[in-house]
């Protein structure tokens, strides 16, 4: 196993009305290539802030984020753009689809940034849309014309269209009903099996079971890491281990 992403002493604070709030207080963590890492912790603990920091979407105050051996702070703007476009996929709670394009065009436009062949992009898109139950009729619609769950699933297709090395997902099932949540988790489980790395923030213990490692964030620091092994639908030992880990941390 090799390390794909590492955080060393990462600190970040926000200032509002001249009052400074330290949100990340020296995060140390390592993500192995191919891991499905889950980040949990109470509301306001700094999970989303950490996810943005790890993906280079947001600046940090001090410390280092190292992607495959290189500190992302040292990337040129061009290299940063390539890093985000080709190596990272983002799934956020509010999908950020462009309203002026159909669902299909949103996905195809993202795919064409990395792949020359339109046919290849459309074939890949069709496969992914099928996996998340988005029909051809829905693909023709604009984001404003589909349900929240459909838009969220389309956002996930867009995040995966370029086969990113790392998928960053912030509560990807937060706005979905149970069965659509399962569809999304199944897709993430599939791509984890194919060797891509996933870092997913969730409050939902059932979603967390999909991962193989859970990082608990408490008060801006890593409050523990639990290795639960690979997902199996009916493995009560893993479930017990994670429940116990979370309980001990007051979750």
DSSP state, 74?
G
Residues in touch with Mg ion (CB under 5 A): 48
Q: Which positions ≥6 away from 219 have C-beta within 8 Å?
A: 25, 45, 46
Query: Which one of the spans 30-38, 39-47, 105-113, 141-149 is the region binding ligand ATP (CB under 6 A)?
Result: 39-47
The residue range among 45-53, 79-87, 126-134, 239-247 that interacts with ligand ATP, by the rule CB under 6 A, is: 45-53
> Between the CA of residue 94 and those of 13, 155, 169, 175, what are the distances in Å?
23, 9, 11, 9
Least distance to ligand ATP from the beta carbon of 110, Å? 25
Q: Any contact of residue 14 with ligand ATP (CB under 6 A)?
A: yes
Interface with ligand ATP, residue 16, by CB under 6 A:
yes
44 is a contact residue toward ligand ATP (CB under 6 A): yes
Listed residue (251, 249, 220, 203) closest to 45, CA to CA: 220
Nearest-angstrom CA–CA distance, 62 and 72: 13
Helix, strand, coil content of the chain in percent (nearest 5): 40, 25, 35
Q: Which of 1, 18, 20, 43 binds ligand ATP (CB under 6 A)?
A: 43
Based on the shown chain and the rule CB under 6 A, indicate whether residue 12 belongs to the binding site for ligand ATP. Answer: no
Whose tokens are 């912030």? That residue is 170
CA distances from 85 to 69, 111, 114, 230 (A): 19, 9, 7, 28
Please report how close the Cβ of residue 180 comes to ligand ATP at its closest, in angstroms.
20
How many chain residues interact with ligand ATP (CB under 6 A)?
11
d(CA 90, CA 164): 9
Question: Among Mg ion, ligand ATP, none, what binds residue 14 when CB lies within 5 to 8 Å by partner kind?
Answer: ligand ATP
- The interface region with ligand ATP, picked from 37-45, 60-68, 147-155, 205-213 by CB under 6 A, is 37-45
Residue numbers 46-85 binding ligand ATP by CB under 6 A: 46-49
In the three-class reduction of DSSP (H, G, I as helix; E, B as strand; rest coil), residue 214 is classed as strand
Supply the minimum distance, in Å, between the C-beta of residue 93 and Mg ion. Answer: 8
Rounded to a whole number of angstroms, the minimum distance from the CB of residue 9 to Mg ion is 22
Q: How far is the CB of 46 from Mg ion (least distance, A)?
A: 8
Which of 36-44, 62-70, 123-131, 227-235 is the region at the interface with ligand ATP (rule: CB under 6 A)? 36-44
Task: List the strands of the sheet with 221-227, edge to edge.
Answer: 88-91, 166-170, 197-201, 36-40, 213-218, 221-227
Note the residues at the interface with ligand ATP (CB under 6 A): 14, 16, 23, 41, 43-49
């Amino acid at each position: 196993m090799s390390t794909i992403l590492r955080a060393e002493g990462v600190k970040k604070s926000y200032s509002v009305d001249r009052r400074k709030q330290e949100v990340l207080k020296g995060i140390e963590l390592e993500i192995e290539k191919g891991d499905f890492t889950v980040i949990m912790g109470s509301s306001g603990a700094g999970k989303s802030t950490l996810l943005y920091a790890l993906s280079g979407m947001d600046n940090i105050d001090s410390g280092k984020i190292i992607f495959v051996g290189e500190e992302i702070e040292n990337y040129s703007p061009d290299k940063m753009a390539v890093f985000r476009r080709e190596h990272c996929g983002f799934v956020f709670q509010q999908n950020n689809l462009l309203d002026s394009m159909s669902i299909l065009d949103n996905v195809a436009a993202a795919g064409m940034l990395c792949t020359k062949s339109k046919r290849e992009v459309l074939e890949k898109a069709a496969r992914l849309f099928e996996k998340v139950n988005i029909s051809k009729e829905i693909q023709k619609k604009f984001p404003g014309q589909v349900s929240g769950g459909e838009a969220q699933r389309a956002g996930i297709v867009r995040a995966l269209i370029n086969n990113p090395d790392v998928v960053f997902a912030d509560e990807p099932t937060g706005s979905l009903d149970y069965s659509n949540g399962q569809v999304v988790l199944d897709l993430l489980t599939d791509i984890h099996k194919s060797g891509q790395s996933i870092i997913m923030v969730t409050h939902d213990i059932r979603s967390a079971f999909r991962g193989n490692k859970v990082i608990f964030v408490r008060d801006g620091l890593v409050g523990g890491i639990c290795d639960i092994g690979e997902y199996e639908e009916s493995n009560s030992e893993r479930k017990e281990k994670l429940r116990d880990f979370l309980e001990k941390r007051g979750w």
